[in-house]
Amino acid sequence: MSIQVVEWLLERLKLAEKANNEAIKDFIFRNLVNMYGLVGSANMCQDLEQKLKETLKDEDRAKKLKDYIESLIKVYNDWENSKKKRERVEKEELLVYT
């Protein structure tokens, strides 16, 4: 259900194309849960959805949330690119030593 909440939010913010895999959606979900202080909540997904609906009612808060989600997407993509580059370098180093 966590992915569904994030997918719903991304559709509302028109960011669905930028977050196109489950790993990034999970990353966004975990960060939103932390931001709204819902860690350990019994109904975490429902509580998060309610908080997001409240946030989206206010245009200024919705804009800030969209900016935050865009920054999370950038952080995740930067991390993924860094990880891929590191793996490529490690493979190249292995080829040099063999």
For residue 51, give the 3-state DSSP assignment: helix
Number of domains in the chain: 1
Torsion over CA: 13, 29, 16, 46 (sign): negative
Give the pLDDT score at 29.
95
Give the pLDDT score at 87.
79
**Residue 98 or 91, more confident:** 91
Taking the C-alpha atoms of residue 97 and residue 91, their distance in angstroms, rounded to an integer, is 10
Domain boundaries, position 44: 2-97
pLDDT tier at 98, thresholds 50, 70, 90: low
Give the pLDDT score at 28.
97
